[in-house]
Amino acid sequence: MINFPPKKEKNKSIKLINNINNIHFGKDNNNNILKNKFNKENKEISLNFNNKKKNKKGKSIRIKRKIGNTNKHEILSTNNKDKIKLSFNDFELNTFKYSDALAFDKRTFIQYYISLIKTKQPIIFAFCPINDYNLIIIKLCIFCLSFSLYYSVNYFFFDDNMIHKIYEDGGKYDIIYFLPKISIAFAVSHILSIIIKFIFLSERNIIQVRKQPNYSKANEIIPTVKRNLTIKYIIFFILGIIILLFFWMLLSSFGAVYQNTQIIIIENTLISFSISFIYPFFINIFPCIFRMISLNSKSECLYTFSKILQIL
């Protein structure tokens, strides 16, 4: 009787597209964020089963996932053999829950600081390409609209006392006198700009699709997300045009009556708008400090406080 040698099993490669719900990630099973991150247009999940090295735990599994050009993070699973590579952009990392940030946010102080500068500095956010899910045309329109807001808010703080002061000084510009009003105008305009970005930017809507547990559920909410974005953009452009026309009529009427004060308002506007360019480089130091301390000392309260500061 001839004994044939056993056939060698070949390595199998299985590409999964739909469901990854049965795979456990990390030591904390509550970290479902790993199962919820995907990108429909740019994805690759592969499982390589190696039968040559068998042990009591069974087969070794290697999971690889590529999404765009975002930062890559590697996490070991409970058996220290399963390797997972996932990608998150700055917005996702900055808005993580505390438990998820502890597990996956391995950025340094400088990396986190730069991510805030890219989203908070008006020129960089509007004109420099960054890895986000916002339309460039919307960012440019918000930048132009924010300048009109600064101009108009400075006009509203221009009262009779300031006009009388200009008359007494013979038209000379006294920055020390105008600085308190400029600071208040900057604060009001900055808060309005934050509200406009929060409402009309598209990143939060698209993140909802990426957070779905599988592609079938993601496909279910895609029409809703598209409809919401379409309505949002229509409202943004209609309101933007109305606001610009209103400000144009208001400022042109004021300039026609008080011709000698136009230069003063423009100077106040340029100063307050310039403050918005410098302001992010200083204020964003504080959320970085509290975030690093919270992650190192495992203080959830400090982490929540840092997330509040990063909004400003």
Predicted pLDDT of residue 9: 44
Q: Which residue has the higher pLDDT, 102 or 10?
A: 102
38 vs 81, 95, 271, 274, CA distance in Å? 22, 16, 43, 39
Note whether 61 and 156 are same-domain residues.
no
Predicted pLDDT of residue 217: 85
Residue 129 lies in a domain: yes
| Confidence at 60, pLDDT banded by 50, 70, 90 | very low
Residue 278 lies in a domain: yes
Which residue, 78, 51, 49, is CA-closest to 62? Answer: 49
Residue 7 lies in a domain: no
pLDDT tops 50 at residue 78: no
Which residue, 75, 98, 100, is CA-closest to 86? Answer: 75
* Greatest mean pLDDT range, 1-15, 145-159, 168-182: 145-159
> Which domain-ending residue is among 70, 88, 106?
88
**Which value, to the nearest 10 degrees, does the dihedral of the CA atoms of residues 24, 27, 33, 35 take?**
-10
Residue 104 lies in a domain: no
Note whether 149 and 41 are same-domain residues.
no
Region of poorest pLDDT, from 2-11, 21-30, 214-223: 21-30
- Number of structural domains, the chain? 2
Residues 6+ apart with CB under 8 A from 141: 236, 237, 240
Note whether 59 and 155 are same-domain residues.
no
For residue 254, the enclosing domain spans 117-309
Residue 1 lies in a domain: no
Residue 284 lies in a domain: yes
Residue 140 lies in a domain: yes
Q: Which residue has the higher pLDDT, 190 or 257?
A: 190
Check: pTM over 0.85? Answer yes or no.
Answer: no
Left (φ > 0), alpha (ψ -120 to 50) or beta: where does 273 sit?
alpha
Predicted pLDDT of residue 86: 59
